[in-house]
Every structure is written in C-alpha cells, then in structure tokens.
Structure 1
Amino acid sequence: MDDNLKWKTLSSEYLFKDTWLTARKDRCERADGKIVDPYYVFEFPEWVTALAITEDEKIILVKQYRHALGEVGLELPGGCVDATDANFEDAIRRELLEETGYAFESVHSLGRTSANPSTNSNLMHMFVATGGKKIQEQDLDENEEIEILEVSLEEFFQLLEEKRMVQAMHITTSFYALRYLNKLNFSK
C-alpha cells in the first residue's frame, strides 16, 4: 500500500517550544534506506474554522490585523482547539461564540485541510454553521481585536472574486461549505 512511501523517525530534537509554536528537528529514514537529516517540523495546535450563516442568511466574516502579513484581512471565524474542547464541533461552537457572539442551530463537519503538510504537523477542521443567532457580546482573547461583518451570499461571492480573502484554508473551507450548501454551479 502506501507504507513504502512512509518515513521512519529515528530521532527528534526540540529546538523551540512556546504556547503557539514548537519547532523540532527530525532525523528520518526513507523506505529505501536513505537518511533525511535534518527535517524541520513546526508543531501547532489543531485549528477549526466555519462558514457561519445567520438565521437571516447572512455570512459572518471577521476583520482583524494579521501581523505576519502586516495587513488587516477578512477571514472566517475560527481558531485553536483548546484542551477543554470535547471534540472539534465543540471547539468551533466555542470559537464562533467567543469571536462573534453567535450560537448556531446546526454545525456540519466538512473534513480537514492542512496549511502545509510538508512542514506543519496540525490540521484545520472545516465546518459550515447555519441558523446563527446573536446571544452575547464577543468574548475575545487578550490580543484579539475583531470586527464582525455580515454579508449576503452575493456580497461574499464578490469578495471572493476580488481576492479580498487571502487565508488559503478559509478559502478552502468556503469552497467546501458552498458546495455542501449547493451554492456553486459547475456547469457552464
């Protein structure tokens, strides 16, 4: 099967460990015996995100500053899975409530995606959330400053067309969510 492509980890050395980032250096052996040394891996927490839709059919977007790019960007709500989350659905429900103040009738899993499987050890778990109703104010983390936008489906498609969202995993989530909701037309 695919086992002939898997590498065996011979050793790992942690180079840096902090709350949001861990970097390690692995020494690996390929199935053909070739040694790969060093191979660097970034360990991040698991992530969740959702295309979140209110009960009046508005898509919720978050606007926030992203320091690595030095830009304010439009994204889908989401974040890191916490140790207190029972599962990924609980994590996205918590993140949606914290970031937007909305609770959702339905949350459907769309699968998972990876930012970069060659260097990142974690996955983003994608969801579509429907029937959102605002039940509280935002409950943001210490360094979060998030503006909420509610846009129509047409406005959302326009933002995508204008390449206003640059977070690749959020665009991927949007694609799977719109496909799940039968909002994409592939015939032309």
Structure 2
Amino acid sequence: MSDTALNWKTLSSEYVYKDNWLTARKDKCETPDGKIIEDYYVLEYTDWATALPITEDGKIILVKQYRHALGETSIELPGGCIDDTDATIEDGIRRELLEETGYAFEKVHYLGRTSANPSTNANLMHTFVATGGKKVQDQHLDANEQIEIMEVSWEEFLQLVDEKRIVQSMHMTAIFYALRYLDKIKFV
C-alpha cells in the first residue's frame, strides 16, 4: 500500500479563528472508503525550529523561561518560529539563536523534523545541532519574552535530561537526535 492510500480528501475548509499566534480552521473531509468527516479542526502555526547549541568551549546553552499554559518556568533549547523574512529554515534557527542567546554559531547541522501533534497541528518543528558558538551580542528578545541563559557542562546537561527537568517533548526529540548525531548515545 502506498503512503498516500490512506489520505483524506478535503471537501471544504473554513477559518473559524485567525490571530497572530493561532489560526484554527474547520475542514470537511472524505476518507478513502467514502466516509464523510464533518467539522475536523486543524490548528495552523508557522513552522518552528530549535537547536542543541554548543559553545566553542564545549558548553551547552539552554534557556529558562516562564510558560504560561503550563504555569511553570521551563528549561528548554533555544528556538522559535520561522519568520517569513527567513530565506531558509537554517537562517531562521540562526536568527533565533542570536536573538535569544546572543550567540552566533560556526556550524549548524539539520537533524530532521518532528510534529507536535499531526492529528491537530499543521506545522513542523525543525531540529538542529549548532556548534562553535561564540557570544557576539546581547539578547534581542520579543516584547513578551523574558529568557535566562544557562551555560552548562555536558555532565550537567545529561543530569537535567536524566532528572526529566526538560519537559518540552519536541525539545527532548531534538536532544535525542542531537545526541545520536554527536555519537553520545549508541544503539546495540
């Protein structure tokens, strides 16, 4: 069976809410066996990017910020939305890293993409490893951002992972991909 054999056909689509950070649409769909699905809701966001950033002296850069939906201050990887002004996804993650941390990176390696929830979200998270980071400026944060920078050793970073202190699931996926790429974990 082909990868598209299970795809639904969109019969109609209507936007029910549009705002800067959230767009919701209601689709009417038909399954391959002819079943009609009424009122299937899809959340549209721009694509996101995140990176495991490593400084030129081998430290991992993490960010700490309050996340209102969870009601907690969270330890995360830096990253954010890919903007219309970004020529490429790599340009977007380089911009986000510079804005949030003040660091520019010698190399940025694409690890892959992941989805927060493919049943409801129409966007992707693109993941990277950034190496050779050097502090070149102060943070340039958005009006609603308050971000504390954490520079940690590999030992401290792995302890945070072991203690499950990083709860953002897509960031944990990025961390897993990065650790595999950097040959820090192996499969038997």
Q: Which residue of 2 aligns with 1:161?
A: 162
**Counterpart position of 1:113:** 114
Partner of 1:130: 131
CA distances 1:115-141 after superposition (whole Å, capped 9, x unpaired): 000000000000000000000000000
Root mean square deviation, CA, Å: 0.7
Post-superposition Cα deviations, 1:155-185, rounded to whole Å, max 9, x if no partner, equal: 1110011010000000000000111000114
SS in 2 for 1:157: helix
Superposed CA offset, 1:43-68 (max 9, x none): 01100000000000000000000000
What's the offset of the Cα at 1:4?
Answer: 1.9
Query: What's the CA shift for 1:82?
Result: 0.5
What residue in structure 1 maps to residue 173 of structure 2?
Answer: 172
Tell me which residue corresponds to 1:47. 48
Letter in 2 for 1:10: L
Q: Give, as a single letter, the amino acid of the residue that structure 1 aligns with 2:181.
A: Y
- Alignment size in residue pairs: 187
Paired amino acid for 1:47? W
Q: TM-score, normalised by structure 2?
A: 0.98
Q: Deviations 1:26-55 (Å, cap 9, x if unpaired)?
A: 000001100011110000110000000000
Say which SS state the counterpart of residue 5 (structure 1) adopts.
Answer: coil
Percent of residue pairs bearing the same amino acid type: 73
* Distance change (3 Å), C-alpha of 1:127 and 1:10: same
Letter in 2 for 1:181: L
Inter-partner Cα distance in structure 1 for 2:38 and 2:88: 35
Question: Which whole-Å deviations, capped at 9, do the CAs of 1:46-97 have from their partners, x for residues lacking one?
Answer: 0000000000000000000000000000000000000100010000000000
1:11-31 Cα distance to aligned partner (Å, 9 max, x none)? 011110001100011000001
Distance (Å, rounded) in 2 between the aligned partners of 1:168 and 1:101: 25
Q: Which residue of 2 aligns with 1:100?
A: 101
CA distance in 2 between partners of 1:170 and 1:110 (Å): 12
The match for 1:150 is 151
> Cα distance, 1:150 vs. partner?
0.5
**Counterpart position of 1:56:** 57
The match for 2:91 is: 90
Q: Note the alpha carbon deviations across 1:88-119, whole angstroms, 9 max, x for none.
A: 00000000000000000000000100000000
Q: Identify unmatched segments of 5+ residues in structure 2.
A: none
Alpha-carbon distance in structure 2 between the residues aligned to 1:3 and 1:149: 44
The whole-number CA distance in structure 1 between the counterparts of 2:67 and 2:5 is: 40
For residue 2 of structure 1, report the CA deviation from its aligned partner.
2.4
Task: Tell me which amino acid in the other structure corresponds to 2:12.
Answer: S
Per the TM alignment, residue 3 of structure 1 is displaced from its structure 2 partner at its CA by 2.5
1:73 partner SS? strand
SS at the partner of 2:128? strand
